Chains A and B, each alone.
Chain A
Amino acid sequence: MGVIIAKSVNEACAVLAENPATTVLAGGTDLMVQANRGTQSLESVLDLSRIPELKKWALEGSEIVFGAGISYTDLADPQIAALVPALTQAARTVGSPQIRNAGTLGGNLATASPAGDTIPVLVAMDAVLQLKSSTENREVAIADFITGVKTNALQAGEIIQSITMPVFQGPQEFLKVGTRNAMVISVVSLALVTDYSGRKLRVGVGSVSPVPFRATEAEEFISKEFDWETNSSLSEKVINKFSELVADATKPIDDHRGTAEYRKHAVGVLAKRALERVCAGERL
């Protein structure tokens, strides 16, 4: 049946309902790599890249909602950067300008790679995905959406419509280790999100386990230690303990991009540095 370029979410869902085996194409930055290698056949394709509603974002009360088709480049919007800085930071580390123009937030989630750059941020913020099929709308927490290495909870006929997350008050940091200074797959990544009103520091980590996750024990510890009135610097002991707790929570593997030992070490370093930056940051 070739390629269907959907113009609306409803149209896309209808196409999928009729032919659930259709391959869904968003930015193409992962899918086409497989197609070019001959490991993915694309006999029937549903292209979501030209659905205007999927490219929008909006502030809805205390939450921000992104259409799944928003590109990494679009996430650099200064208005978005002011609301969810870590997401903008993470988006800028993705691939190259070419990749950032094509790749989408929804695509990053659907691919569900342990190294997906935006995922630690979304995990830290407990983002929720709005999934849609021709018959059902449902919401899935990000922790439940990514089910394993490159597997997700999408059911036949479903697409990711949007991603929603709270807008937290307070500084945010995203850091990613790669052995090259640009255009590199993450060896380790970490997002630290401050929530002043909830008095919580949230930590998401990537490339250190099959699925990016929140380091909850480290969060509990640091949220108690953090000086919520002044944001002032923490003792070295506290920072190190936080760093240790983050590292201890990970289960990295050895591969050609880095050893497990290095990943565990590096994620601790990132935790420490992110925390130091947050402490040094302006009290909002």
Chain B
Amino acid sequence: MTSEVYTLTVNGNDYQVVDGHSSESLLWVLRERLELSGSKNACEEGECGSCTVLLDGEIVCSCLVLAASAVGREITTIEGLGSEDEISDVQKAFVDAGAVQCGFCTPGLLVAIDQLLNSNPDPDDLTVREAISGNLCRCTGYGRILEAVRIASNNRTAQNEEEKSK
């Protein structure tokens, strides 16, 4: 059974979803219908965080969001981080710190960390660990990921102080 045509707002753009199966998750629709395959599927039960997106500014597992119920919400995916020509500070920190190995967990982690630093620019180690405890990484043991957060956080703090002193 198919549901009616509906519109999703992803990274500021409206997308029409047609011919969807009624039980399709937001993750599925993003990946397979909207061809925004940056969000990853590793468990489809909310245990790995690879599919993390922002829904009205809060991180959620897009595999646990019914796609057709996200109509009218602001959805931000990994494709919405950074700009066309430039990657964001957190994305750059990930590359520089060696936080990327296979890269499968990376998009979800970046969305989670970007949101964390937006709400808390200078989190302590334990805060970061709790904030990313829903994002499993099998390659890195998290060491370089935590380092990337420190780099991005330090840069933001330095930048803020610079702006203040101006």
| Closest chain A residue, CB of each to CB of B129 | A182
Chain B positions 109-134 with a Cβ under 8 Å from a chain A Cβ? 112, 130-131, 133-134
Interface SS majority for chain A: mixed
- Please, how many angstroms separate the alpha-carbon atoms of A95 and B25 in the complex? 19
- Please, how many angstroms separate the alpha-carbon atoms of A92 and B139 in the complex? 27
User: Is A41 an interface residue when CB atoms closer than 8 A count as contact?
Assistant: yes
| Closest chain A residue, CB of each to CB of B54 | A101
Query: Which among B25, B55, B133 has the highest number of chain A CB atoms within 10 Å?
Result: B133
* Residues from chain B with Cβ under 8 Å of A73 in the complex: 58
* Residues from chain B with Cβ under 8 Å of A101 in the complex: 55, 58-60
Kindly identify which residue among A27, A28, A32, A98 contacts B49, using a CB–CB cutoff of 8 Å: A98
User: Is A111 an interface residue when CB atoms closer than 8 A count as contact?
Assistant: no
* Interface size, chain A (Cβ < 8 Å): 32
User: Is B65 an interface residue when CB atoms closer than 8 A count as contact?
Assistant: yes
Q: Is the CB of A42 within 8 A of B133?
A: no
- Please, how many angstroms separate the alpha-carbon atoms of A98 and B25 in the complex? 15
Q: Is the CB of A182 within 8 A of B46?
A: no
* Residues from chain A with Cβ under 8 Å of B22 in the complex: 2-3, 41-45
Q: Is the CB of B69 within 8 A of A95?
A: no
- Please, how many angstroms separate the alpha-carbon atoms of A246 and B47 in the complex? 32
* Residues from chain A with Cβ under 8 Å of B63 in the complex: 32, 36
- Please, how many angstroms separate the alpha-carbon atoms of A95 and B47 in the complex? 8
- Please, how many angstroms separate the alpha-carbon atoms of A23 and B136 in the complex? 31
* Residues from chain B with Cβ under 8 Å of A36 in the complex: 25, 44-45, 63
Contact with A along B1-18 (1 / 0, CB 8 A): 101101000000000000
* Residues from chain A with Cβ under 8 Å of B134 in the complex: 95-99, 182-183
Kindly identify which residue among A31, A42, A98, A182 contacts B52, using a CB–CB cutoff of 8 Å: A98
Known: A2-B3, A2-B4, A98-B61. A29 touches B130 (CB 8 A): no
User: Is B100 an interface residue when CB atoms closer than 8 A count as contact?
Assistant: no
- CB-defined A-B contacts under 8 Å, sample of 5: A35-B23, A37-B45, A43-B23, A98-B61, A102-B61
Interface residues of A (CB under 8 A from B): 2-3, 5, 25, 27-29, 31-33, 35-37, 40-45, 47, 49, 73, 95-99, 101-102, 181-183
- Please name 12 further chain A to chain B contacts, defined as beta carbons within 8 Å, in addition to the given A28-B66, A45-B66, sorted by A numbering: A3-B68, A25-B69, A28-B65, A43-B23, A45-B69, A95-B46, A98-B112, A99-B46, A99-B64, A99-B134, A102-B65, A182-B133
